[in-house]
Each structure stands twice: as C-alpha cells, then as structure tokens.
Structure 1
Amino acid sequence: MTPETDTKAAPAGARIPGPFSALGLSIMALTILVDQLSKWIADAYLVYQQGIAVLPVLALYRINNTGIAFSLGNSADSLVLIVLTAIVTGVVFWVWRGSTEGGRTAATGFALIAGGAIGNLIDRIWHGHVIDFLYLHWNERGFFVFNLADVALTIGPLLLAWVYLLQPGKKG
C-alpha cells in the first residue's frame, strides 16, 4: 500500500486496523511502555520541582499533576478523573472500532490517543496523580509541564485531523 492510498476509503464494510490488530496493540503497548518507563526514570532521578535545562525552550522539571491537561481541574476528586479518563478511552475504542476510513494513519492516531490515555490512567490509579516532567518555556515565560503520554495525546488527534479534515481530495 502506498502512502497516497493509505488514507483512502476502504471497501464497503471494511475496517481500518482496529484496537486489537497487531498495529493497534503494538502502538498502544509501545506508547504505554515508553511513557511509563520515562515517568519511572523522572520519578526516580529528578528532584521534585528542580529544573534541568535541556534546550533553550525545554527543561526537565518533575511535578505531580493532580488535574487534567495543563493542570486544569486540580481540585477534582481523583476517582472522578479516573472514571472520566476510562469513559473517554472507551469512547475512543468504540469510535475506532467503527471507523472504515483513514487506513493505518487513522489507526495510528487512535492508538496514540488510547495509549496516552492509558499511560496517564495508570499513573492516576497507581500514584493518585500524573507524573509530568517536560517543561516547555520561552525565557522566563513558562507554558506547561507534560509527559510522553501527553505527547501521544497531542500527536494522535493531529493525525486524525490530517486524515479526516485536511486530506487533499477527501470528500466532505
């Protein structure tokens, strides 16, 4: 299959590689493994709230995020966030299983979203918070602290937007 045909519509009734396909399982597992390993290293070796410059715009800076994205909802009960994350992850699986367009690119997007959500869900269940350790900033202006699950949760929707919204020649 060539890249040009990868995101074309499948024959009627056909599905893209689903959550339990080799592609889906391998991307989700790799996402979860890399995320959890990086968080374990950050938790073990980074001093809490002490930055280490990596690039002019990126530092290692470990925090415990009790909220959701960008620390929103810090006052929310942990159990509520666990249940909400599980529901959203279930919806992603449901939509993914029913998808018939987008090919491997869409499947990769769905797998990154699911893997990232599961990675953060593991933290929330295990620790009661999510371990964040990548600090994006410009000079003294800080933007946010995140982790590799969050990277997957950003790239996944971008891939889906590319496939479903931005593909040249895609019928609306």
Structure 2
Amino acid sequence: MAKLVLYILVFLTCFFLDLLMKHLANDRLALRHPVQVYKRLYLVLVHNKGAAYGLLKNRKRLLRILSAFAMFFMVYLFIYTYNNDFSPEFMISLSVVLAGAAGNFSERIRHGYVTDFLYIKVKKMPIFNLADLFIVIGMVFVYYHGLF
C-alpha cells in the first residue's frame, strides 16, 4: 500500500505542477509573444487546438475521443502493471506519463485546447508544455525499466 501512495503522490505532484505552470503561462504571457529565458530557451504562449504539431486541430470532437481513449488505456495499464508487481521504477515512470496525459486531457476537455509555452529554438521543434515533457521523459524510463 505504501508503494501505491508513492505512485499517487508522484502523479499528483506532476499533474498539479503542470496545471500550475499552464495557469502561470496564461496569466503572465501574451499570446505568441516570445520571451527569451536562456540562450535557446523561450516562453511562448500558444493555445494548441490540435495534438502534437497541431495535428487534428480542425477535428475537435475526434481529438477529445482519442484523448479519452488514451487516458482510459493509460489508467488500465497502470492498474494492470500495479497488480502484476512491476518494478517501483517502472510504476513511478508510468505515474509520470499518466500525469502528463491527464494534464493535457483535462485542459482539452475544459478549454478545447492545450496551453503550450516552452520553446527550444532548434530546427522544427514544436512549442510544448510540462505535461508533454513528463510524457516523453516518463516514456523513456518506462521503456528502459520495461527492458531491464
């Protein structure tokens, strides 16, 4: 039970940190007005009505359905892996991924878009948010701990 509490705490910490950062971005940044933070790191407020790279931006209902399906799948996967004694490292990584997915899903449902605000100025890099970062980094660790 202590492990489950840890996984839930990791999830809640990441989830609320993402929501806080999105709130601050919406409160303090002007839409599409880049603010340089450090060399190639910028803050740029964008309301992304699509998925990654703006995919499906004109298919709002389909995107919500796909997002809901992905969330239910992630919750199922979490329950399955928890009940089948996967390693704590794997479960923490999965909690981080789930928090990122939940952060973007909740915003898409509430607002019809996801707030993106982080931009690293390199070729073809999209503007992203903390939830996206949690998903990518969490998946790297899920993959790593799933193999080893």
The TM-score, its normalising length taken from structure 2, stands at 0.90
Query: Which position in structure 1 is the counterpart of 2:72?
Result: 90
- Letter paired with 1:133: F
| Aligned counterparts of 1:82 and 1:25: Cα–Cα separation in 2 | 25
Counterpart amino acid of residue 136 in structure 2: T
Deviation of 1:142 after TM superposition, in Å, equals 4.7
Letter in 2 for 1:115: A
For 1:147 and 1:81, locate their aligned partners in 2 and report how far apart those are by CA, in whole Å: 18
- Find 2:5's aligned residue among 22, 26, 34: 22
Paired residue for 1:45?
28
Paired residues, what number? Answer: 144
Identical aligned pairs, as a percentage? 26
SS state at 2:36 partner:
strand
Give the match's secondary structure for 1:73: coil
Structure 2, unmatched stretches of 5+, are none
Query: What amino acid does structure 1 have at the position aligned with 2:67?
Result: T
- 1:63–1:132 CA contact under 8 A, matched in 2: yes
- CA distance in 2 between counterparts of 1:74 and 1:143 reads 18
Q: CA deviation at 1:63?
A: 0.4
**TM-aligned CA distance change 1:89 to 1:49, over 3 Å:** same
Question: Residues of 2 paired with 1:161 and 1:34: CA distance?
Answer: 24
Structure 2 distance, partners of 1:59, 1:142, is 14
1:86-129 residue CA offsets vs partner (Å, 9 max, x unmatched) = 21121122122222354111111111111111111111111110
The structure richer in helix per residue is 2
Does the CA-based 8 Å contact 1:136-1:145 persist in structure 2?
Answer: yes
- Residues 135 and 142 in structure 1, CA contact (< 8 A), matched pair in contact too: no
Among residues 47, 52, 69, which one is paired with 1:64 in the alignment?
47
1:64/1:129 contact within 8 Å kept: yes
Q: Which residue of 2 aligns with 1:118?
A: 102
Q: Which runs of 5+ in 1 are unaligned?
A: 1-16, 168-172
Name the counterpart of 1:11: none
- Write the letter of the residue equivalent to 1:106: F
1:98 partner amino acid: Y
Partner of 2:90: 106
Q: Which has the larger radius of gyration?
A: 1
The corresponding residue for 1:134 is: 118
Structure 1 residue 83 displacement after superposition: 2.1
2:146 is the counterpart of 1:159: no
